[in-house]
């Protein structure tokens, strides 16, 4: 158990709909990351928040957005869903906001999203 908690574990929804994925980081971690894992694209970094502020942005679509709340939990909002958005979405957390040898990133078990 990494200490990173994600809900829901599985989600099935229709095209055009909107969903919210939730993440609670490890106790004491200030950084939260979102990654998407799909068969064709592999593991892709979406976005990072550090202590409530956006720190880095990767290959995140405009239809997707995220935020980190004062209690440090984070939500990833996916809207106007398409079949190609079906994937495993990982949340991860770390203590630090910038890379260093000690900045290990811990992953949750992921949220499986199926768009039908």
Chain contacts with other proteins (rule: CB under 8 A)? 2, 31, 33, 42-43, 45, 48, 50, 55-56, 58, 90, 92, 94, 96-110
CA–CA separation, 24 vs 13, rounded Å?
A: 23
Q: Which residue's CB is nearer to other proteins, number 14 or number 27?
A: 27
Considering the complex, what minimum distance in angstroms separates the CB of residue 112 from other proteins?
Answer: 10
Considering the complex, what minimum distance in angstroms separates the CB of residue 24 from other proteins?
Answer: 14
Q: Which residue's CB is nearer to other proteins, number 19 or number 46?
A: 46
Q: Which residue's CB is nearer to other proteins, number 12 or number 16?
A: 12
Query: Based on the number of CB atoms within 10 Å of its own CB, is 91 exposed (0-12), middle (13-18) or buried (19 or more)?
Result: buried
Residue showing tokens 């106790």: 27
Neighbouring C-alpha atoms within 13 Å toward the C-beta of 34 = 31
Identify any residues that bridge with 6 across adjacent strands, giving them in sequence order.
23
Considering the complex, what minimum distance in angstroms separates the CB of residue 1 from other proteins?
Answer: 10
């Amino acid at each position: 158990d990494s200490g990173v908690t994600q809900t829901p574990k599985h989600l099935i929804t229709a095209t055009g709909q909107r969903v919210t994925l939730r993440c609670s980081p490890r106790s004491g971690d200030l950084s939260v990351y979102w990654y998407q894992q799909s068969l064709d694209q592999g593991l892709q970094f979406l976005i990072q928040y550090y202590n409530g502020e956006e720190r880095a942005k990767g290959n995140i679509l405009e239809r997707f957005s995220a935020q980190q709340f004062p209690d440090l939990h984070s939500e990833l909002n996916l809207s106007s869903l398409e079949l190609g958005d079906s994937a495993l979405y990982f949340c991860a957390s770390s203590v630090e906001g910038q890379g260093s040898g000690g900045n290990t990133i811990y992953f949750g078990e992921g949220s499986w999203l199926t768009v039908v």
